[in-house]
Amino acid sequence: MKSKLGFLTGVSLKRKIKSKWFVIANVLIAIVIVALINIDSIISFFGGDFNEKTNIYLVDNANSYELFKSEIEQNEAVIGNNESSYNIILSNETIDDLKEKLKTDEDRNSIILSIKPSEENTIDVTMITREYMDLIDSQVITNSINNTKVALAIKNSSISADELNNIYKTVDIDRQWLEEGKNSTDENMSIIMTTVFPIVILPFFLLTLFLVQMIGAEVNDEKTTRGMEIIISNVSPKTHFFSKVIAGNLFVLIQGILLVIYALIAFFIRDKIGSSSITGGIGSEISNVIGNLIGSEVTSKLVYIIPITLVLMLLTFISYSLLAGILASMTTNIEDFQQLQTPIMVISLVGYYLAMMSGMFEGSIFIKILSFVPLISAILSPCLLMLGQIGIIEVIVSILLTIILNFLLIKYGLRIYKVGILNYSSKGLWKKMFKAMKS
Amino acid sequence: MLKLENVTKYYGDFLAVDNLSFEVKEGEIFGLLGVNGAGKTTTFRMIINLLDPTSGNITLDGKPIDYSVTDKIGFLTEERSLLTKLTVKEQCLFYGTLKGMDEEQILDKMKYYLDKFGVSDYENKKIKELSKGNQQKIQFITAILNEPKLLILDEPFSGLDPFNVELFKQEIVEMSKKGSIIIFSSHRMEHVELFCKKIVILLKGKNVLSGNIKDIKEKYRKKNIFIKGDVSKDELQDIEGVSEIVEHSDELEVKIKDDTIVPSVFKKIKNKNITKFVVEEPSLNEIFISKVGESYEK
C-alpha cells in the first residue's frame, strides 16, 4: 500500500509539472533566457548599422587632427571600447559640400566637426549632424574636444616633450585601508555586486512567486470544489499540509534546476555562434562579471557563501510554502486567494529592493537589522555578506531565526490549517483562526 | 455496528447537535432527516472524523473512528466534491488510493461501476465536462469504490432523473445486503420510506423523532381516508375529528385525528354512490412536516 503522504505529494507535483501551462511557461522562460544572454547576436542577426563606424569629417584649421584622434581613442578606452567606433577623416571639402554628404543615406549618421583657431578660446568648434546624436557619441566627442583644446594650449606654451608626457601620465594612487584583509579588487567587486547580486537573486524571487501560486491554487481548488472533505476524511490535515509543502518545494527545486539548464544552454549557444562585436549584451556582462569574480578574493568566499545561501534559501522557501498553505486554507473563493498573494509578494519585494539598495546605503543599521528578518533574509543576508557588511555569524543567526519561524508556522499554522480547510464562511474568519491558534 | 452516544457539538456558543444517540447495525439503512441547518451534515462530519464532537462518543465496531479505519468508510457529500480538472479515471485513482486501494483494484472496480451506471464512455473525460447527473454518478462511484463497511450518503439523489434514482437505489440495497452500514439523508421522504428501516428526525440539532418507520407510523394516530365518488368537501368538513380535506383531481383526502373518526365519516357517505373508501397511514413526509412543525411551535 502506498504511503498517503508520498501519494499526495506525487499527485500535487505531477498535477503541476504535467500541466500544459507549466510546459508553455518553461518554453517561454527558456526562450527569454537564451534570448537575453544572446541579445547582441539576435540584434546583429536582424541587421542594422550597430557595427558600422561613425564618420567624423574633421575640417581642421587648427592643426589639431593628431591630438583629436588620440583623445578620441583615450576616451573610448575609458568607456571600455577596445576597438574604435569612429572613422576620423581629415577633410578638405567645404562645410556646404559636407552638409550635402550628410543628406545622403550613406552618411546620415556622420558628424562634421569644424575646428578653427581662436585667440580667446584657443579653438572654436562647430559640430553638425543630420539628426539628434547618440548620447555616448556626444560625450566622447565633447570630452575629446575639451582635452584637445588643453593639449593645444599646452603645446602652444612651449613646454618640452618630456614635460608634456609627465603632464599626461596617469597618476598612480597608493590605496591603503586601515582594516586588515582589504584590497582594491574586492573593493571594486563591492561595486559590481551591488548591481549584479539583485540580478542573480531574481530567480529566487520568481521561484517564490511560483511556490506561493502553486500551493495556494491547489489548496484553494481542493477547498472550493469540496474535494477537501473527501481528502481530509482519508488523510489527516497534517499529512495533507505537509504533502503540499513538500510538493511545492520539490517543484521549486525542479524549476530552479531547469532555470540553470536554460542558462547553460544559452551560454553554450553563445559559445557556438560566437559573440558579436556589440559588447552591451547581458551575456557579455555576465561573462565580464564571472571573469572579475574569478580574479578576486570573492571566489574563496563563495566556497562558504554558496552553501550557506542555499541553506537559507531552502529554509525560506519552506517558510513561504507554509505561509501560503496556511493563508490559502483560510480563503473561501479564488478571489480571496488572488488577494492573499499580494502581501506575500510585497514581503519578498521588500527584500529584493533592500538588496539593491544595500550598496548605496553601506553600513545602514536599518538594512542590517532587516537582514535578520525571516522571509527577506534569504535575499538580503547573502547580499550583505558578499559586500562584506555582515559576517558569517550574522547569516547563521538569520538561518536560526528562519528555523524558529518555520517551527512556529508548523505549530500554530497547522491548527489554523485544520480549521481553515473545512471552513466555507468568511464571517468571523479571523476570530475563528485566532481561536484555532489558541486551541 | 455504528454507535453514537450522547453526541453534542457546539460551534462557539451555537449548539449544532444536541445529545444525539443512535445505532445502526450491519445491513441496515438508516435515515437521518431534518430541515436545512438541522445538524445532519455536522453529524456526518463527526462520524467521518472531520469534526471532533464537543462531547459524546462515536464508534464503529466498538472502536473510535480515526484515520486507521477511514479506509472502510465511503462518503458522498451533499455538494459535489470532485476535483473538476481531473478526468474520471484520475479522480477514481485519486480517491481510491486515498482509501488504501492499489491501482489494479481501483481500475477493476471503476470499470465495473462505470459500466453498471452507463458512463464508461466518460472514463477519460474531465469531470467539468460532464453533466450534473453524470458528475453525481461519478461521485457515487468514488464513494463505493472501496466497498465500504460504512457508507454515508448526504443527499445522494440530488440532480438525478427517476431512472438513475432507481439505479442508485438498487446499488444501495445491494450494498446493504452485503452487510454495509448505510446512513443517508434526503429531503425526498418517499426515498427514505422505501429504503430505511430506522430514522432520526433532527431539528436544531435535537432528536425530535426516532425509531423504526413502521412503529413511528403506527404510533402516529392521524390517518388519511381516500374517498372517490359522489360526495363533496362541504358534506364532510363539519364531522368532528376531521382536521383537513384535500381535493385531488378525482378523489378527496380526508385527514382525521385518529381511527375512531372513521365510522363517523363512513356513516356520512354510506348511502352515496361511492367507488373508493380507503383508510391509509400517513406518509413519512406528513409525519416529518407534522413533527417538525410541532417542534418549531414549541
- Taking any CB pair shorter than 8 Å as contact, residues of chain A touching chain B are 1-2, 4, 7-8, 11, 15, 221-222, 225-236, 422, 435
Residue A196, CA distances (Å) to A191, A192, A297, B194, B281 in order: 9, 6, 17, 75, 86
Least Cα separation, residue A312 to chain B (angstroms):
34
Mean pLDDT on A377-383: 88
Mean pLDDT on A53-74: 88
What pLDDT, on the 0 to 100 scale, is given for residue A277?
44
Residue A391, CA distances (Å) to A48, A314, A366, A386, B217 in order: 49, 20, 16, 9, 83
Q: Are A239 and A9 in contact (CB under 8 A)?
A: no
Q: Over 60: is that where the pLDDT of B199 sits?
A: yes
As a whole-number percent, the residues of chain B with pLDDT over 90 amount to 41
A184 pLDDT tier (thresholds 50, 70, 90): low
**Hey, are the CB atoms on B67 and A226 less than 8 Å from each other?**
no
What pLDDT, on the 0 to 100 scale, is given for residue A186?
63
Q: Is B176 helix (H, G, I), strand (E, B) or coil?
A: helix
Q: Is B258 helix (H, G, I), strand (E, B) or coil?
A: coil
The verdict on B278 touching A (C-beta cutoff 8 Å) is no
What pLDDT, on the 0 to 100 scale, is given for residue A137?
85
What pLDDT, on the 0 to 100 scale, is given for residue A72?
87
Looking at per-residue pLDDT, the higher value among A75 and A196 belongs to A75
What pLDDT, on the 0 to 100 scale, is given for residue B149?
94
B253 pLDDT tier (thresholds 50, 70, 90): confident
Mean pLDDT on B8-17: 89
Which domains does chain B show, CATH number per domain?
2-213 (3.40.50.300), 221-280 (3.30.70.980)
User: Cα A402 to the chain's mean position, in Å?
Assistant: 25
Rounded to whole angstroms, the Cα distance separating A247 from A211 reads: 9
ipTM surpasses cut 0.95: no
Nearest beta carbon to residue A231 from set B45, B71, B98 = B98
Nearest beta carbon to residue B97 from set A2, A221, A225 = A2
Burial grade of A143 (CB within 10 A; 0-12, 13-18, 19 or more): middle
Least Cα separation, residue B81 to chain A (angstroms):
4
The total of other beta-carbon atoms located within 10 Å of residue A60's CB is 19
The pairing of strands B73-76 and B242-247 is unpaired
Nearest beta carbon to residue A229 from set B50, B71, B85 = B50
Which domains does chain A show, CATH number per domain?
4-42+183-438 (no CATH), 54-168 (3.40.190.10)
> What residues in B contact A222, CB-CB < 8 Å?
83
A348 pLDDT tier (thresholds 50, 70, 90): confident
User: Cα A91 to the chain's mean position, in Å?
Assistant: 46
Residue of A nearest to B12 (CA): A432
pTM: 0.76
What pLDDT, on the 0 to 100 scale, is given for residue B106?
95
Q: Over 90: is that where the pLDDT of A312 sits?
A: yes
The pairing of strands B198-203 and B29-34 is parallel
Name the one residue in this structure whose C-alpha cell is 481531473: B86
A287 pLDDT tier (thresholds 50, 70, 90): low
Element at B14 (helix H, strand E): strand B14-24
The verdict on B85 touching A (C-beta cutoff 8 Å) is yes
What pLDDT, on the 0 to 100 scale, is given for residue B53?
93
Q: Which of B72, B81, B95 to mutate to test the interface with A (most CBs of A within 10 A)?
A: B81
Looking at per-residue pLDDT, the higher value among A428 and A82 belongs to A428
Query: Which B-chain residues 17-56 have CB contacts (< 8 A) with chain A?
Result: 45, 48-51
Least Cα separation, residue B19 to chain A (angstroms):
23
**Hey, are the CB atoms on A225 and B82 less than 8 Å from each other?**
yes
Residue-wise over A181-192: b if at least 16 C-beta within 10 A, else e?
eeeeebeebeeb
What pLDDT, on the 0 to 100 scale, is given for residue A335?
83
Residue of A nearest to B75 (CA): A230
B120-159 pLDDT per residue, tens: 999 999 999 999 889 999 999 999 999 999 999 998 888 7
**What is chain B's mean pLDDT, rounded?**
87
What pLDDT, on the 0 to 100 scale, is given for residue A279?
44
**Hey, are the CB atoms on B81 and A225 less than 8 Å from each other?**
yes
Nearest beta carbon to residue B81 from set A2, A227, A435 = A227
Looking at per-residue pLDDT, the higher value among A262 and B256 belongs to A262
Query: What's the one-letter identity of residue A405?
Result: L
Rounded to whole angstroms, the Cα distance separating B181 from B148 reads: 8
Q: Over 50: is that where the pLDDT of A278 sits?
A: no
**Hey, are the CB atoms on B48 and A233 less than 8 Å from each other?**
yes
**Hey, are the CB atoms on B99 and A234 less than 8 Å from each other?**
yes
**Hey, are the CB atoms on B77 and A222 less than 8 Å from each other?**
no
Least Cα separation, residue B71 to chain A (angstroms):
7
Q: Over 80: is that where the pLDDT of A29 sits?
A: yes
B297 pLDDT tier (thresholds 50, 70, 90): very low
Range from A79-88, B97-106, B230-239 that averages highest in pLDDT: B97-106
Least Cα separation, residue A286 to chain B (angstroms):
42
